[in-house]
Amino acid sequence: MAKLPANEVLKECVDGEMAMSAADIQLDDQGRLRHFIAIEGLPRALLTQILDNAERFAPVGDRTVKKVPLLRGRTVANLFFEPSTRTRTTFDLAAKRLSADVLNLNIEASSTKKGESLADTLRNLEAMQCDMFVVRHQVSGAAHFIAQQVAPYISVINGGDGRHEHPTQGMLDAFTIRRHKQDFTRLKIAIVGDVAHSRVARSNIQALKILGVPDLRVVGPKTLIPPAIDAMGVTVYDDLDEGIRDCDVVITLRLQQERMQSALLPSAHEYFREYGLTADRMRLAAPDAIVMHPGPINRGVEIDSAVADGAQSVILQQVTYGIAVRMAVMAMILGSQAQAGAA
């Protein structure tokens, strides 16, 4: 497919002459990353390339001078339409370690409350001549919409859109798993908890399926497992013991407090009793299993402190690796843009 400007892509999409996949808008005509909106539809080679590049960036954080000059003179704007500390901070650090200038905009508190439309907000930000937008938005599909709207010289990284995807989290989780388990094609992995409302779960499922994980499970009560999720290539378990049995990796998801009020669950107490990850339960998993969590964790709700802080937990490594993975994605996108500009 030839690369088209965003409005042309939209038009083609409306025409229905081209079945638009998530990959179409994300890759340029050379198959290089242009935006990073969703993991769905990306080729395995590209995901592997992101992981390999992240390996090269990981040592930067261990140095005294934690900076490489790759993106000097480029401007990255963090557009957070929804509050976030952890994700925004790691994107911020990633961009700074690549020597980019960073603009942090907490839009949730400003323009949208004054009634400005998203399209107008984008036009204003475009006028500030940024090279990249990192976007977090509470509505699924927002990053996709923004990528279609922005000028062709701006790239978009999805920092989480509604319940849809959080692709850099998906990649940092894959990176963490590869560091510990090497070969994806022999793994049993369970994702436990509130899959229905989780963009992390969706990105994890897409990434791990593409990377070849043969036994991928989701575990939770029926109220937290979205309908027809088996179409994404996972097996559904509503019993935690069965779900994590012999697993090499257990990913627990954060349970939002508000789920208790919407009649999805009776109480945090009962949830912990049935679905909380405890040391006892972890004995059902493979002996060398690792435990992951996208954070922030609710101790005593989805995970017991003994597990979260235990030897099998790699939760803090996930945070560290997140910076390297985000550096890799930013460098790949802005790097390929620079090449395209020079050519």
Partner 1 sequence: MRIRIHGGRVIDPASGHDAVAEVWVEDGQILSLGRAPRGLKADDTFDASGLVVAPGFVDLGSHLREPGFEHKATIEREARAAAAGGFTSICATPDTQPVVDNAAVVEHIVKRAKAARGARVLVLGALTVGLDGQLLSEMHALNAAGVVGLTNLDRAIKDTVVLKHALAYAASAELTVFLQPEDYWLGRQGQIHEGAVSTRLGIPGIPSAAEVIAVQRDLTLAAAVQARVHFSRISAAESVKPIADARRRGQAVSADVSLAHLSFTVDDIGHYDPNFHVRPPLRAASDRSALRKAVKAGAIDAISAGHEPHDGDAKAAPFGVTEPGMSTLDTFLPALLAQVAAGAFDLPTALAAASTRPHQILGRDGGRLTPGSVADLTLFDPACRWQANGETLHSSGLNTPYLNQTLTGRVVATLVGGQWAYRNFSPV
Helix (H) / strand (E) containing 219: strand 215-219
Angle between helices 315-342 and 44-57 (to 10 degrees): 110
Binding mask 184-223 for partner 1 (x = CB under 8 A): ---------------x--x---------------------
Q: Are 146 and 121 in contact (CB under 8 A)?
A: no
> Chain-centre distance of CA 250, in angstroms?
17
Helix (H) / strand (E) containing 211: none
Among 2, 19, 65, 127, binds partner 1 (CB under 8 A): 19
Of the listed pieces 88-96, 111-119, 182-190, 330-338, which binds partner 1 according to CB under 8 A?
A: 111-119
Among 131, 165, 194, 302, binds partner 1 (CB under 8 A): 165
CB nearer to partner 1: give 58 or 207: 207
Counted residue by residue, the chain has a size of 343
CA distance 294 to 301: 14
* Residue 139 found at the interface with partner 1 (CB under 8 A): yes
Among 4, 13, 260, 340, binds partner 1 (CB under 8 A): 13
* Residue 137 found at the interface with partner 1 (CB under 8 A): yes
Q: How far is the CB of 238 from partner 1 (least distance, A)?
A: 16
Among 49, 84, 111, 140, binds partner 1 (CB under 8 A): 140
* Residue 232 found at the interface with partner 1 (CB under 8 A): yes
* Residue 33 found at the interface with partner 1 (CB under 8 A): no
Among 34, 35, 97, 144, binds partner 1 (CB under 8 A): 144
Collapsing DSSP states into helix, strand and coil, what is residue 144?
helix
CB nearer to partner 1: give 74 or 199: 199
* Residue 164 found at the interface with partner 1 (CB under 8 A): yes
Q: How far is the CB of 148 from partner 1 (least distance, A)?
A: 9
> What DSSP string runs through 225-289?
S-TTGGGGT-EEES-HHHHHTT-SEEEE-PPPGGGGTTTS-S-HHHHHHHH-B-HHHHTTS-TT-
**Residues binding partner 1: number (CB under 8 A):** 36
CA distance 306 to 263: 29
CA distance 158 to 25: 13
CA distance 289 to 309: 14
* Residue 145 found at the interface with partner 1 (CB under 8 A): yes
CB nearer to partner 1: give 19 or 311: 19
Dihedral sign computed on CA atoms, order 117, 118, 123, 124:
positive
The footprint of partner 1 (CB under 8 A) covers 11, 13-17, 19-22, 25, 40, 117-119, 137, 139-142, 144-145, 149, 161-165, 199, 202, 226-229, 231-232
